[in-house]
Amino acid sequence: MGAAAPLLRAALLALTLSPRRAAAAPCAPTCPAGTFVSGAGCGASCRPCPSDTFSSAVGAGSCNLCRKCEGRFRYLKECSPVSDAECTCKEGYRCSDGSCSRCDRSCGPGKEKSGSGCQDCHYGTFNDQPDGSCKNWTACSENQVLEPGTATKDVVCKHSLNNPTSATSLPTTSPVAPFPIAVPVHTTPEQSVQEETCSCRFPEEEQGEDEDCGKSTEFRDLLEN
């Protein structure tokens, strides 16, 4: 055994001085969303999520059950292998929170949500929707209320039913007198020509029906004689 000791020491020294091997990389697969890792180590594989389950993360070790939209709920979005289903409430109900984890009965017109219940719209406000909040009545001008408001209906103002331009009055800074004020009499071009003919153009005056023209004719005869 004494002869073997040097050989053993040499072998140990060789192992100590030799470079160390890098750690082996893991051989487990990286499974995408919609699948899960089945098995372990280098023998693992990716398997698709079964029906009514999903996985939204990469390398998931299992799939999650899909949410069911039943009873007061209805589907807003169906479940898929990579995402869960989204629910909302059926008609007549409303979601109690952002994730719609519970459905409460709708308040209806004339009311609004208050905590986990409903309250009536205060005087001066209304809500005409199955769900929603109470809004203030429209403010009409003095003596312009055509129909009063209620908890379910807004005020109706008179001016809202008329065309505002039809009631526009003339400006006070530029007064306009009522029409007509006076009807001016204009002499037509034909009348002007006729008057000039009777008084000036003697050789062409043969009508003699107008009194003035007759006098002009007599004056012309005196000049000729």
List, in sequence order, every residue forming a beta bridge with 88; answer none if it has no partner: 74
* Chain mean position to CA 187: 65
Report residue 49 CA to chain centroid gap. Answer: 40
Domain with CATH 2.10.50.10 in the chain: 109-164
Look up residue 176 and give its two tokens: 């306009």
156-174: average pLDDT: 53
**pLDDT tier at 216, thresholds 50, 70, 90:** very low
Q: What are the tokens at 214?
A: 């007759």
**Residue of 138, 151, 144 lying closest to 107 (CA atoms):** 151
CA distances from 9 to 3, 15, 19, 21, 180 (A): 11, 10, 18, 22, 135
Class of domain 109-164: mainly beta
* Per-residue model confidence (pLDDT) at position 195: 42
**CA distance linking residue 85 with residue 56, whole number of Å:** 12
State pLDDT tens for residues 89-140: 998 898 888 899 999 888 889 998 887 788 999 999 999 988 888 999 999 9
Among 127, 118, 117, 135, residue whose Cα is nearest residue 151: 127
Q: Average pLDDT of the chain?
A: 73
Check whether 211 has a pLDDT greater than 90.
no
Determine contact, residues 145/157, Cβ cutoff 8 Å: yes
76 against 198, higher pLDDT: 76
pLDDT tens string 50-78:
999 999 999 999 999 999 999 999 999 99
26-65: CATH topology: Tumor Necrosis Factor Receptor, subunit A; domain 2 (2.10.50)
Domain 66-105 has CATH 2.10.50: yes
